[in-house]
């Protein structure tokens, strides 16, 4: 269900006009891509995940199996312009994702010498509940 979690997070991000005014929707991507001069952009990747079956998950009939999935999602915000641009975008991403759907776990600023860009990396935990 990793794809579902990543597309959910992307939908939350692109639903914010504050974010899409800073980063075009087509530059909010799931998974790594080859870069040219496609900045600013936001890249989403899953870094880890766990699944928990609730009591009776293995023995319940279909339709009454409850489980919880927890994902750690890495968000890379990249800019050729400035560190300030990555911070401004990140501030808007935080507002959207912590509004009840995610919890921010870490935040790191860096300069990527290889690409010649400013990069801000954030990690979020995201939980989904399912009934199989």
CATH 3.30.2000.10, domain 2-131, yes or no: yes
pTM of the model: 0.87
Instruction: Identify which of 69, 45, 46, 57 has the alpha carbon closest to the alpha carbon of residue 130.
Output: 69
**Is the pLDDT higher at 85 or at 33?**
85
> 50 Cβ partners below 8 Å, 6+ apart?
69, 70
The overall average pLDDT reported for the chain is: 89
Percent with pLDDT over 70 in the chain? 94
Q: Quick check: 121 and 74 in contact, CB under 8 A?
A: yes
pLDDT at 83: 95
Residue ranges per structural domain of the chain: 2-131
pLDDT-derived band at 61, boundaries 50, 70, 90: confident
């Amino acid at each position: 269900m990793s794809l579902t979690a990543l597309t959910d997070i992307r939908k939350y991000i692109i639903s914010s006009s504050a974010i899409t005014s800073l980063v075009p929707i087509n530059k909010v991507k799931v998974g790594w891509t080859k870069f040219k001069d496609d900045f600013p952009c936001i890249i989403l990747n899953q870094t880890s995940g766990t699944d928990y079956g609730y009591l009776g998950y293995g023995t319940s009939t279909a339709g009454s199996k409850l489980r919880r999935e927890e994902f750690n999602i890495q968000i890379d915000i990249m800019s050729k312009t400035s560190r300030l641009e990555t911070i401004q975008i990140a501030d808007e991403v935080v507002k959207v994702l912590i509004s009840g759907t995610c919890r921010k776990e870490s935040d790191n600023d860096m300069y990527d010498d290889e690409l010649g860009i400013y990069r801000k990396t954030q990690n979020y935990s995201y939980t989904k509940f399912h009934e199989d």
